[in-house]
A = this chain, B = another copy of it.
Amino acid sequence: MADPDARFEALLAKFRERDHRITPQRLALLRLLAASEGHPSASQIHEQLHAQFPTMSLATVYKTLNLLKEMGEILELGFGDDDNRYDANEPFPHPHLICIRCHKIIDPEVPEYRALAHEVAATSGFRVVSHRLDFYGICPDCQRLEAG
């Protein structure tokens, strides 16, 4: 995706814009999110930040993530069983491909998926405002391990 530094600056600008205070904890969290390629969970984020800030609490991670969610700057992926995952690089609904073995999440290219939402709206009378398109399977790496 785009330049991590640019994304970090954009997130920071949004914080200032809305008069949210810039604390060292928040700076570190924004930097981490902007740089992350994957879809980290709250506790994974907490774990990493705890290395830099030994007093960093999970509650602060959640509070900041919720702030970002309200601001529309991150996408929260909730799962029934597993913990939530966060995507700060594409904070709008898009398809996901989830490995049921290693829990890796990737963003596949599915150009036609937008057409589906339109069709569903047209035939059902719903005003569709969001969606969730998740495909579950076994990623190439885990297939290799199984075969080996």
Q: Does A91 contact B (CB under 8 A)?
A: no
A132 and B79 CA atoms in complex are apart in Å by 11
For A128, give the chain B residue with the smallest CB separation. B137
Query: Which stretch of A4-12, A22-30, A57-65, A108-116 is in the interface?
Result: A108-116
Hey, what's the 0/1 contact readout for A57-79 against B, CB within 8 Å counting as 1? 00000000000000000001011
Given the known interface contacts A78-B79, A126-B97, the answer about A131 and B136 at a Cβ–Cβ threshold of 8 Å is: yes
**Minimum C-beta distance from A32 to chain B (A):** 22
Interface string of A98-139 (1 = CB under 8 A from B): 011000001011101100110111011111111111111111
Band of interface residues on A: 35 or more
Q: What distance in Å separates the Cβ of A42 from its nearest Cβ neighbour in chain B?
A: 12
B121 touches A137 (CB 8 A): yes
**Interchain CB contact under 8 A, A137 and B132:** no
Q: Which among B95, B131, B134, B138 is the interface contact of A129 at CB below 8 angstroms?
A: B138
